[in-house]
Amino acid sequence: MRPLSKLSKVFLGVCAASGAVTYYYLNSSEKKVYASWTVNYEPSAHAKWDDNWDHRSPKYLKQPKISKDENNNLISNDVEKSKPKSTRHLILIRHGQYNLGGQTDEMKTLTKLGQIQADYTGKRLKELGLPYTDLIKSTMSRAQETGSIISNSLVGVPVNNCDLLREGAPIPPEPPMGSWKQEMHKFFVDGARIEAAFRKYFHRASLEQDQDSYTVLVCHANVIRYFVCRALQLPAEAWLRMSLNHGSITWILIRPNGRVVLRCLGDTGHMPPDVITSW
């Protein structure tokens, strides 16, 4: 057998030492390391899902008044009966391109290109063939106009307006950006309103809802980005890390068990490249 060279002996020594250090760390460290596919995997505190995020989880809503001696199956059955059976689909539409030079909201109407974008989005929603429950528009001019154009493609879908969906500054973004160095009272006022909009529209279905619902919300980029962060339980301050095109479609669904799925974010694949804009 050929004797080991000096270099090979050094290499083996390094490997042995590193292995010993690794073994010591894994067995003496307070934080144990597990493979992600094992049942012992423990996510970080920031990654854990809050099952009662909408305060509608049956196991928190139902408080059966029975003694400890009674069958626990009674509690389980009561909770089971309180579980929703339907899924809520929220389809968020950003308004089309508008006149940035307008001095008032009434003057910030859609440009010709913005009208074309809204028309493409309306036709796309029609092509999807979903049983839309309602269409709700922000009361700002550009959203009102966008929603009206979309409604031309969704004949018969009830239309409502909502002041809570108006554009605003939801929360100071992280990292900070110069263009969003708003005065704190702006975030305080707008943030409370936009959070109220989130709580109004984002929740699991009620027990009375026996079919899946599809609500179209025509609103604004800041509002939609904030909604996405909140719905996915991401840091709300991350809202400005996303970009949304005009007339884009963002689709979020809330399952009966409260789990949230982002089906698409800012989709404009239904538009020709030459009509896609974000500013």
* Res. 171: pLDDT tops 70: yes
Q: Estimate to the nearest angstrom the gap between the alpha carbon of 66 and the chain centroid.
A: 38
88-275: CATH class: alpha beta
Mean pLDDT over the full length of the chain: 86
- Kindly state the average pLDDT of the residues 157-162: 98
Task: Specify the pLDDT at position 41.
Answer: 75
First to last CA, the chain: 73
Instruction: Give the pair of three-digit tokens for residue 107.
Output: 């003057």
Query: Which carries the bigger pLDDT value, residue 25 or residue 82?
Result: 82
Q: State yes or no: pLDDT of 32 exceeds 50.
A: yes
pLDDT digits (tens, 9 = 90+) for 93-108: 999 999 999 999 999 9
Share of the chain above pLDDT 90, in %: 68
What is the pLDDT at residue 164?
98
Q: Torsions phi, psi of 228, nearest 5?
A: -60, -45
Model confidence at 25: pLDDT above 50: no
pTM, full prediction: 0.81
**Which one is predicted more confidently, 227 or 59?**
227
Instruction: Specify the pLDDT at position 88.
Output: 98
What pLDDT is stored for residue 172 in this prediction?
93
Maximal C-alpha separation, the chain:
90
Per the model's pLDDT, the better-predicted residue between 42 and 126 turns out to be 126
Average pLDDT over residues 21-25: 48
- What is the C-alpha separation between 225 and 237, in angstroms, rounded? 10
pLDDT score recorded for residue 36: 57
Domains of the chain: which residue ranges?
51-83, 88-275
**Higher-scoring residue by pLDDT: 23, 150:** 150
Q: In what order do the strands lie in the sheet containing 249-254?
A: 159-162, 134-138, 213-219, 88-94, 249-254, 260-267
Percentage, residues of the chain above pLDDT 70: 77
Q: For 188-227, how does the pLDDT look when each residue is reduced to its tens digit (9 = 90+)?
A: 999 999 999 999 999 999 999 999 999 999 999 999 999 9
| Higher per-residue confidence, 133 vs 80 | 133
Contact predicate 89/261, CB 8 Å: no
| Residue 269 pLDDT > 90 | yes
